[in-house]
Amino acid sequence: MTAGAAAGLHLVRLHLVSRRVPAALAVVAACAVVLRVALRWPWDTYGAFQLPLVFEAASAAVIVITTASSLGEPERATGRWLPFLRLGAALALTAAAVIVLAAAGTGAHLAGGTLDVLRNVAGLTGIGLLFAAVFGGGLAWAGPMGYLVVGVYALYTDWHGPALTTPWIWPGRPPHDLGAALCAGLVFAVGLVAITVHGARDSAGE
Amino acid sequence: MTAAQAPATSRPSPAVRRPGLATGRLLRLELRHNAMPWMVPVAVALFWFITYRKSMALPPLWNVRAVTLQSGAVVDFATPVVGAAAWMGSRDGRRHITDLVAVAARPRWARQLATWAATTCWAMVAYLGCAAILYGVTARQAAWGGPLWWPAAVAAASLPAFSALGFAAGWFFPSRFTTPVVAIAAFFVLALTTQPIRGSQSYWQVSPLVAYPWDIGPEPGVATFYRYVPDLSIAQLMLVAGLTMAALGALGLPAGSGDRWLRRSAAAITAAGLLAAGTAVALAGTGRLDAHGMIAIPALHDAAIDHPIRYHPVCSHGPIPVCLNPAYTVYLPAVAAALEPVLSQVARLPGAPVRISQAAATYRQGPGNMVGIEVAGPLLSGRPPVFHLLLPDQLLGPTLTVSQLAAQVRSSAGPDIVAGVIGGGTGGRVSQAQQAVTAALSAAGGDLPGHASRGTSPGRTGAGTPCGQCVANKVSGRLAPGTPVFDAAVRFAALPAAARHAWLAAHLPALRAGRIALAQLP
């Protein structure tokens, strides 16, 4: 391994540790385990639809809270690779969350399936990344949490209409709905751009 | 001037201890440096999108709006409040300043309570603003009644509990991940607690999310004819107050929270809180669905509120007036118009009702989640006879518009009114002539599905001429085509209204007694 590659790996490791990414991965894995256990319980139809969304939102909230930096301005001033590190960390964590949540549903009745997990985790994470850019990484969890309530309400209106059919509330749409997937993807892309270019609005000390 | 020449200063007077002022200053500091103001827009937006819009789509009845407020506000505020409180509770630990602030003049428990109080104040201000707007708009729209405060109080009392639980979790587990985990756990537990509810004797209905018998939903007839039964609300208040005390008391238990006296007080508060919460759960398990559609808990129930509410009904002006509870004033024109075709068929006939009067529903818990909703007593009773009308229940289905509800009244109450006049209601022995006349009048009255009444009776052309095929189509919805009864019904329905009415006026007693044969019908 060349000295440059080793330095790069060291930089990545330091960045991930400073963002508590290992702890975030552990929490996401715990979410998947709890989801797996919960899927074994008897749920009514509404509860079964609601269950994956709760854990998708939890994973998204954990992902976006890693955007908070404990280093603040010094890191911004000296870190040339910082935008790429932020982008990579967000993408990697999102992918990991999708994979472990989908794996948790393997062999069980996961409402919506893997496509639903991919769409919802991406969209919820995008909302959280936007919140991080605007309000700070520490409070970014409020985005996915607030949207979770909206999403659960959208699922509720499927039973007790009038149903919310706008694709911007994608949890209420079927997994194969193209409009909902596009909306979630767009929000994720905008969130990624915001967090890559701007970073989380944070001050040192957290 | 040298030091020796300087005037001697008097000894400074000892500082006056004013603990109230210091507490106020601490609270003001915490109010200014709190995360909850950032969460207020989120909570208010959720309240508007979910609770307010849903409430405005419901009829302007105080009971419906109030129970919707309770359930909705609890869901809307739970996550932001728990999250913000956890964030504030973990503040010292996240910033690694726990030891630094340990030397402050105030005991740690007092400082924690100030932070919790500030978080709760922000949440409470936001909630009260939302509730005031919802109740204010309802006050302008509602025709009768007044605000129900118990559901609003349960939602309000839930906020300190959410805040205390979140704060305690943040304090004991100070990590940046505590906040989302605790917030999602709060939402999960709230949603989870409604899943195991089976029937009215469920411990789980103590959840502050449950504002009404869970199987019924926000039923308009509940707490309209009888006073709101606050038994479940009292149990829920006990629960959330107990949880608040337990969580706040737990903060004062660890070493370093204060002196021994303070920690003993915290232990006593924790124990009292747990006792109150446990008692509330036990009480909720003894609840039962009462006849008026509310949960009555024997140990908390005040029998004095079981009397019906006195009211002056609002009535339409027609040959047979339709009278509704004044809370339902908005429905009166549509319901009266929907029933008018039927009522015009039977008006002034012997035995016809002199008034259609809205009746209170009787609720009965069935097996599992089944709930029977029916009118108490016979539909037609009294001298002179009065028909007791039960407006359709909306249960948990899509909210009915005024016109949809009126259409349901026409299809459900219309045949009952006719059957009540002609005789031989549901389950009774009915002659073939009675069947034919009932079907003919019901068809002429437009009770059949798909008929849109626009002021003319169905089965008639615009000029009022009977339309044979139209009448047959209408009657075929009630009787099997090709049978003698069907033919007689079509024949009778095709008569001009005046001829039908005259024949009925002359022969109704005999028809009711079963002395008219099918062939004798005109």
Task: Tell me the chain A residues in contact with residue B191 when contact means C-beta distances shorter than 8 Å.
Answer: 47, 50, 54, 152
CA-CA distance, A130 to A190, in Å (whole number)?
8
Return the closest-CA partner of residue B203 out of B230, B223, B232, B229: B232
CA dihedral B372, B375, B376, B378 (to 10 degrees): -130
pLDDT of residue B398 exceeding 80, the answer is no
CA dihedral A3, A7, A10, A12 (to 10 degrees): -130
Cα B37-B39-B40 angle, rounded to 5 deg: 65
Q: Is B21 left (phi over 0), alpha (psi -120 to 50) or beta?
A: alpha
B353 phi/psi in degrees, rounded to 5? -65, 145
pLDDT digits (tens, 9 = 90+) for B207-232: 999 988 876 776 777 888 899 999 99
Say how far residue A146 (Cα) sits from the centre of its chain.
13
Return the closest-CA partner of residue A54 out of B52, B197, B180: B180
pLDDT digits (tens, 9 = 90+) for B443-494: 776 644 333 333 333 333 333 445 556 666 666 666 777 788 888 888 888 8
Q: In this complex, do B79 and A146 lie within 8 Å of one another by their Cβ atoms?
A: yes
What angle, 0 to 180 degrees and rounded to 10, lies between the N-to-C axes of helices B468-476 and B432-445? 110
Q: Residue B463's pLDDT is what? A: 38
Q: In this complex, do A149 and B398 lie within 8 Å of one another by their Cβ atoms?
A: no
Which of B79, B96, B162, B178 is best to mutate for the A interface (most A CBs within 10 A)?
Answer: B79
pLDDT digits (tens, 9 = 90+) for B155-200: 999 999 999 999 999 999 999 999 999 999 999 999 878 888 877 7
Give whole-number Cα distances, B314 to A79, B225, B355, B482, in Å.
Answer: 75, 14, 12, 44
ipTM: 0.91
Q: Residue B268's pLDDT is what? A: 97
Residue where the block lists tokens 């209106």: A157
Q: Which residues contact B387 (CB under 8 A, 6 or more apart)?
A: B353, B355, B356, B357, B379, B380, B413, B416, B417, B420
Chain A and chain B share a number of CB contacts under 8 A equal to 89
In a 13 Å sphere around the CA of B90, the CA atoms on its Cβ side amount to 24
Task: Tell me the chain A residues in contact with residue B178 when contact means C-beta distances shorter than 8 Å.
Answer: none
Task: Tell me the chain A residues in contact with residue B396 when contact means C-beta distances shorter than 8 Å.
Answer: 159-160
Lowest-confidence pick of A21-35, B21-35, B415-429: B415-429
Most confident of B146-155, B322-331, B367-376, B498-507: B146-155
B358 phi/psi in degrees, rounded to 5? -65, 135
B 51-110 residues with CB below 8 A of A?
Answer: 57, 75-76, 79-80, 83, 87, 94-95
B103 phi/psi in degrees, rounded to 5? -90, 5
CA-CA distance, B365 to A72, in Å (whole number)?
61
Q: Which two tokens stand for residue B329?
A: 């004033």
Q: Which residues contact B28 (CB under 8 A, 6 or more apart)?
A: none
Q: Is B375 left (phi over 0), alpha (psi -120 to 50) or beta?
A: beta
Mean pLDDT, all residues of chain B = 85
Residue where the block lists tokens 């009675």: B434
CA-CA distance, B115 to B86, in Å (whole number)?
11
Question: Where are chain B's structural domains?
Answer: 26-216+232-285, 314-520
Return the closest-CA partner of residue B297 out of B236, B242, B235: B235
CA-CA distance, B86 to B78, in Å (whole number)?
12
Instruction: Count helices and strands (H / E) in chain A.
Output: 8, 0
In a 13 Å sphere around the CA of B318, the CA atoms on its Cβ side amount to 25
A138 touches chain B (CB under 8 A): yes
